[in-house]
Amino acid sequence: VNACVDVVLSGVKLLQALGLNPGNGKDHSILHSRTDLEEAFVHFMGKGAAAERFFSDKEAFQDIAQMASELP
């Protein structure tokens, strides 16, 4: 997750902390929800690739960024 902040963490652990379980992957050009984040993560990590996406929901993004900053 690129949050324009120096946070390096396990994407899998972040998804787990957010209560998300990997399901089907799907590319989203813009992320609107945690589900979109989960689907994009599965889609790109399954291919061994990284991707940057804009997150349109400010509150959801702030919640995710907060959770990321609290993980080791």
Does some domain include residue 3?
no
Contact 4, 17 (CB under 8 A): no
Q: Domain of 21?
A: 11-70
- Alpha carbons 37 and 69: distance in angstroms, whole number: 17
Q: How confident is the model at residue 7 (pLDDT cuts 50, 70, 90)?
A: confident
Per-residue pLDDT reduced to its tens digit, 27-67: 999 999 999 999 999 999 888 888 889 999 999 999 999 99
The DSSP secondary structure of 29-63, one letter per residue, reads SEE-SHHHHHHHHHHHHTTT-----EE--HHHHHH
* Res. 22: pLDDT tops 80: no
pLDDT > 70: percent of the chain: 92
Does some domain include residue 1?
no
Give pLDDT, residue 46.
85
pTM: 0.80
Does some domain include residue 2?
no
Q: Which amino acid is at 66?
A: Q
- Looking at the structure of the chain, the number of domains it has is 1
